[in-house]
Amino acid sequence: MTAQQFPLPLGPEGLLTTSDSLNAFAQALGLNCLAPGWDGWVDDVISPIAVSNSTDLVFDGASWGDQTSRYPVGTKLSCTDNSVTKYGYVTHTQANGTPTFTTLFCIWALADGSATTLSGVPTNLRISYMDTASGFPSAFVFTPGSITGWSGTPTTVFNLSVIGRNAKVRYYINGTSNANSASCVLPFAAAANAGDNWRGAVSLAIDNAAVFGTAEAQAVQNSTALRWLRNNLASGWTTSGQKAVMGVIDIPI
């Protein structure tokens, strides 16, 4: 096999040289950054053996051992499921058992960003650590779990994008209040934050039909909880009338 040149920086002068051995290694991984048409994806050399909860991929520990370092939080995935291309974010990895099986906890979307799940063990698994992998949705629509503070079924819009280990969540909830609190459950856990929670201003807040500008969103550290406080002093919401929150919060994961 004739290797294409793979440039390497040499020192502060910015000189470049080539390394056939490094390029051959990259090609063995399916990663040839100079090849025409390379789309930012790498064919995975291992395949999952099972799917849990229609979202999570399980890899064989007897064959591959602990693979958590291969799939850090924020890793992008692409696969084929029932002849449909689906895209995923890795939100958490876990290794357990003897031998050590690796489980990837994931959230999935179709090419247009609409939420989906896996119907079985997918094929053609590909991975990417790039921000701009070809075809990957700009945002994933998702439905949060356990919305509290509203009666019935409030109107909701949630979407998610991840760059590295930082998740950007855009949210909107509107309905009738039935409690002095407001919260939901995210599909991932926020990272630790030296004893405090991750905070973000709420761009629109309505309490008992009155619009005000002091509300705060908080992603609870080491937790999947996202909550909204009426103001930064944590005073409670009115327990009746219209209640709505809308905004964006950045959450390290």
Question: Is the previous residue joined to 99 through a cis bond, with omega within 30 degrees of 0?
Answer: yes
Look up residue 242 and give its two tokens. 């219209």
pLDDT digits (tens, 9 = 90+) for 98-122: 788 899 999 999 999 999 999 999 9
Residue 214 pLDDT exceeds 80 = yes
pLDDT digits (tens, 9 = 90+) for 41-98: 999 988 999 999 999 999 998 888 888 888 999 999 999 999 999 999 999 998 887 7
Among the residue ranges 39-48, 180-189, 238-247, the one predicted with the least confidence is 39-48
Residues 24-48: b if buried by 16+ CB within 10 A, e if exposed: eebeeeebbeeeeeeebbbebeebb
Name the DSSP class of 236: P
Distance CA 77, CA 55 (A): 12
Collect all residues with Cβ–Cβ distance below 8 Å to 36 and sequence separation of at least 6. Answer: none
* Greater pLDDT, 234 or 118: 118
Q: Are 9 and 15 in contact (CB under 8 A)?
A: yes
Q: Band of the pLDDT at 31, cuts 50, 70, 90?
A: low
Q: Are 4 and 34 in contact (CB under 8 A)?
A: yes
Residue extents of the structural domains in the chain? 37-128, 142-252
Residue 186 pLDDT exceeds 60 = yes
Share above pLDDT 70 across residues of the chain, in percent, rounded to a whole number: 85
Query: pTM of the full predicted structure?
Result: 0.80
